[in-house]
């Protein structure tokens, strides 16, 4: 065991591991802390990046979110409603018991049992699918309808051992039930401080480079950067955009970067005839302006996306005009970001009956996305310049996401779990149908039968080419209708020792098991 001592970095009084990690130990400074070691607790990137070292998936995604075998070696539809999944043989849990189809069935039972009180609805949906054991290494998954996204969804839900299917979240957090099949074993989680993992000697796959991985929570951007510069950690995530160029040019560091699949966008409330944070210039109630396409378009044209990327993001971003990023399944090359055209925005406002504009409040988080508070402020200024007199309200994510359903204009971000366009379309823009897990986070209230049909047809099409064409059509329809207003894609940037390599991931996750020595 290494010994640790306290250190002060910058203005942050965080306790950090002293000294650079040894050749066998990788120490990572991470901005976002996991919320649980229970892999079914909540579906967030910060949880996945820790738990995926220990708990594996039937199907995994590579750094560009393309599917690859994991605990399943193959998957194929045997008819329109049934998928056959062949499981990997010779895999053991860290307690020595074999991985079989019985483990998969136990995950289904746990997802539906309610034993995990805060299980994400997406996990209940993904894990609670109708699986049937054919033999110890074959599962038939029945969807009830044509469902081409089955493999993608199986890549999102981690699996636990059947021996611990009735264990509580507290048991996992304490390590009592944290038995996995992955390259690392869970050692400890000290909330607010660190997670420690050590190599699993019985792992079925390639031997990872590190004997031990330590994730150190350093929420402060300056402190996290200071830690890697001082050698207190070996790699950090979320390099601050203000330091992007200096880090890039620093010979003591190397960077890994890639365009993120996370798009930052504006939600325009279209749920009803009135919206709470839009008022006339004299402060009176008014009809919901977001229901008018001309006003939605004016808002989009008022935003200078290039200025946001160049000035606020310090170049670490790309203007966005749709949800999927270039290269992702469903990306439409014909859909471009709206140009910055304030004069046309003013003209559209006048045509919509508001030549002198109106009052509006834009809400956003100030600690969730890169520079989110600053971006919200800048968007408020841009809207004010075209006549929409905008107030700005930002708040910590702990309260923001609870309140965001009730706001009129909201800054949000979305990254695709499945690595293709339907993830965003079904969650954010499809008419809400709870029993089908559609529109589950549709804060806009957008409900358009033409858009829905494109998406519904795509979800019923097994032919990849035809399905992509339908998703591209859905994306163009939503863009033309200004169902939402995308602003930019983030760039994911890691900084690390020059003698290390990390293949940057579109899903923002920092996986220590994929950090290698040059």
Same-domain pairing of 470 and 325: yes
Query: How far is 168 from 152, CA to CA, in rounded Å?
Result: 27
Residues 6+ apart with CB under 8 A from 487: 264, 265, 266, 303, 305, 308, 319, 320, 375, 379
Task: Kindly state whether residue 503 falls inside one of the protein's structural domains.
Answer: no
Helix ranges (H only) for 237-337 are 244-248, 293-301, 305-307
The DSSP symbol for 436 reads: G
Among the listed residues 405, 471, 30, 423, the one whose alpha carbon sits nearest the alpha carbon of residue 213: 30
Closest residue by Cα to residue 494 from 195, 258, 252: 258
Q: Which residue, of 120, 143, 167, is where some domain finishes?
A: 167
Q: How much is the pLDDT for 1?
A: 30
Q: What is the pLDDT along the chain (518 residues), one digit of tens a residue?
A: 332 222 323 333 333 333 344 449 999 999 999 999 999 998 888 999 999 999 999 999 999 888 999 999 999 999 888 999 999 999 999 999 999 999 999 998 888 887 887 655 556 566 657 889 999 999 999 887 888 888 988 898 899 999 999 999 999 999 999 999 999 999 999 999 999 999 999 999 999 999 999 999 999 999 999 999 999 999 999 999 989 889 999 999 999 999 888 999 999 999 999 999 999 999 999 999 999 999 999 999 999 999 999 999 998 899 999 999 888 899 999 999 999 999 999 999 999 999 999 999 999 999 999 899 999 999 999 999 999 999 999 999 989 998 999 999 999 999 887 788 999 999 999 999 988 889 999 999 999 999 999 999 999 998 989 999 999 999 999 999 999 999 999 999 999 999 999 999 999 999 999 999 99
Q: Last residue of a domain, which of 150, 167, 184?
A: 167
Q: Are residues 290 and 429 in the same domain?
A: yes
226 within domain boundaries? no
Assess whether 324 and 443 both reside in one domain: yes
Tokens of 434: 């709870």
Same domain, 142 and 264: no
Please, are residues 11 and 222 in contact by the beta-carbon 8 Å criterion? yes
In a domain, 395, yes or no: yes
**What is the structure's pLDDT at 492?**
93
The three-class DSSP label of residue 376 is helix
Instruction: Tell me the HSE value of 49 on the side-chain side, using a 13 A CA sphere.
Output: 29
Rounded to two decimals, the pTM is 0.77
Q: What is the CATH number of the domain that holds 89?
A: 3.90.76.10
Residue 447 lies in a domain: yes
261 token code pair: 């699949």
For 334-421, list the strands marked E by DSSP.
Answer: 358-365, 388-395, 409-414
Report d(CA 256, CA 510) in Å as an integer: 11
Specify whether the CB–CB gap between 403 and 392 falls below 8 A. no
Residue where one domain finishes, among candidates 167, 197, 218: 167
pLDDT the model gives residue 7: 30
Flag whether 182 is in a domain.
no
Q: Is there a domain that residue 280 lies in?
A: yes
Q: Are residues 272 and 154 in the same domain?
A: no
**Phi/psi at 307 (5° precision):** -65, -40
The pLDDT value given to residue 119: 55
- 190 Cβ neighbours under 8 A, 6+ residues apart: none
Q: Residue 250 domain-assigned?
A: no
Q: What residues contact 363, with CB distance under 8 A and at least 6 apart? A: 277, 376, 393, 394, 395, 400, 403, 404, 407, 408, 409, 410, 411
**Longest alpha-carbon distance in the chain:** 72
Quick one: DSSP state of residue 337?
P
Examine the domain organization and report whether 451 and 304 are in the same domain: yes
CA distance 175 to 194: 14
- Tell me which DSSP letter residue 204 carries: S
Rounded Cα distance between 450 and 424, Å, is 16
Segment (H or E) for 319: strand 317-319
Residues 343 and 477 grouped into a single domain = yes
* Phi-psi group of 240: left, alpha or beta (phi > 0 → left; psi -120 to 50 → alpha; rest → beta): beta
For residue 177, being part of any structural domain is answered with: no
Residue 132 sits in the same domain as residue 266: no
> In the chain, how many domains are there?
2
Q: Are residues 460 and 316 in the same domain?
A: yes
Same domain, 428 and 288: yes
Enumerate residues 6+ apart whose C-beta is below 8 A from 375. Answer: 264, 308, 312, 364, 369, 411, 487
* CATH assignment of the domain containing 281: 3.10.105.10
Of 484, 486, 502, 478, nearest in space to 309 by CA: 486
C-alpha dihedral sign at 156, 160, 165, 171: negative
- Neighbouring C-alpha atoms within 13 Å toward the C-beta of 102: 9
Task: Give which of 56, 71, 55 is closest to 139, Cα–Cα.
Answer: 71
DSSP 457-507: HHHT---HHHHHHHHHHHHHHHHHTTSSEEEEEEEEEEEE-TTEEE---TT
**Residue 458, domain extent:** 260-490
> Hey, what are 185's tokens?
């074993």
């Amino acid at each position: 065991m290494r010994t640790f001592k306290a250190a002060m970095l910058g203005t942050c009084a965080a306790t950090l591991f002293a000294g650079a990690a040894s050749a066998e130990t990788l120490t990572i400074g991470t901005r976002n802390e996991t919320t649980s070691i229970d892999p079914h607790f909540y579906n967030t990137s910060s949880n996945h990046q820790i738990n995926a070292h220990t708990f594996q998936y039937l199907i995994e995604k590579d750094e560009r979110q393309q599917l690859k075998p994991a605990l399943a070696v193959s998957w194929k539809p045997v008819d329109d409603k049934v998928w056959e999944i062949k499981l990997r043989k010779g895999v053991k849990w860290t307690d020595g018991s074999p991985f079989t189809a019985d483990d998969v069935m136990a995950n289904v039972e746990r997802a539906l049992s309610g034993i995990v009180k805060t299980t994400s609805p997406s996990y209940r949906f993904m894990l609670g699918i109708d699986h049937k054991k054919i033999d110890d290494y074959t599962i038939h998954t029945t969807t009830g309808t044509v469902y081409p996204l089955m493999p993608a969804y199986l890549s999102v839900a981690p699996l636990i051992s059947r021996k611990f299917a009735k264990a509580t979240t507290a048991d996992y957090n304490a390590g009592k039930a944290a038995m996995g099949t992955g390259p690392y074993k869970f050692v400890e989680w000290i909330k607010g401080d660190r997670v420690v993992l050590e190599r699993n000697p019985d792992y079925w796959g390639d031997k990872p480079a590190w004997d031990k991985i330590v994730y150190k929570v350093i929420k402060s951007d300056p402190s996290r950067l200071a830690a890697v510069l001082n050698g207190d950690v070996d790699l950090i995530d979320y390099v601050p955009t203000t330091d992007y160029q200096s880090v890039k040019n620093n010979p003591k560091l190397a960077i890994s970067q890639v365009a993120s699949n996370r798009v930052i966008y504006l939600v325009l409330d279209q749920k009803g005839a009135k919206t709470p944070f839009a008022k006339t210039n004299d402060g009176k109630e008014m009809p919901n302006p977001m229901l008018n396409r001309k006003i939605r378009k004016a808002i989009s044209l008022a935003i200078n996306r290039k200025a946001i990327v160049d000035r606020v993001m310090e170049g670490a971003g790309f203007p966005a005009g749709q949800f999927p990023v270039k290269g992702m399944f469903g990306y439409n090359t014909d859909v471009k970001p709206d140009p910055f055209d304030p004069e046309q925005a003013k003209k559209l406002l006048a045509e919509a009956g508001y030549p002198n504009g109106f009052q509006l409040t834009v809400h956003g988080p100030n600690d969730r996305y890169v520079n989110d508070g600053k971006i919200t402020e800048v968007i408020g200024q841009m809207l004010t310049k075209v006549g929409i007199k905008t107030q700005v309200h930002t708040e910590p994510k702990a309260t923001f996401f609870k309140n965001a359903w009730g706001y009129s204009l909201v800054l949000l971000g979305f990254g695709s779990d499945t690595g293709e366009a339907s993830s965003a379309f079904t969650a954010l823009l499809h008419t809400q149908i709870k029993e089908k897990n559609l529109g589950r986070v549709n804060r806009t209230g957008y409900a358009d039968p033409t858009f829905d049909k494109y998406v519904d047809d795509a979800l019923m099409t097994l032919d990849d080419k035809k399905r992509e064409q339908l998703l591209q059509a859905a994306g163009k329809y939503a863009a033309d209708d200004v169902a939402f207003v995308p602003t930019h894609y983030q760039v994911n940037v890691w900084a690390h020792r020059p003698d290390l390599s990390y293949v940057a991931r579109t899903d923002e996750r920092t996986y220590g098991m994929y950090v290698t020595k040059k």
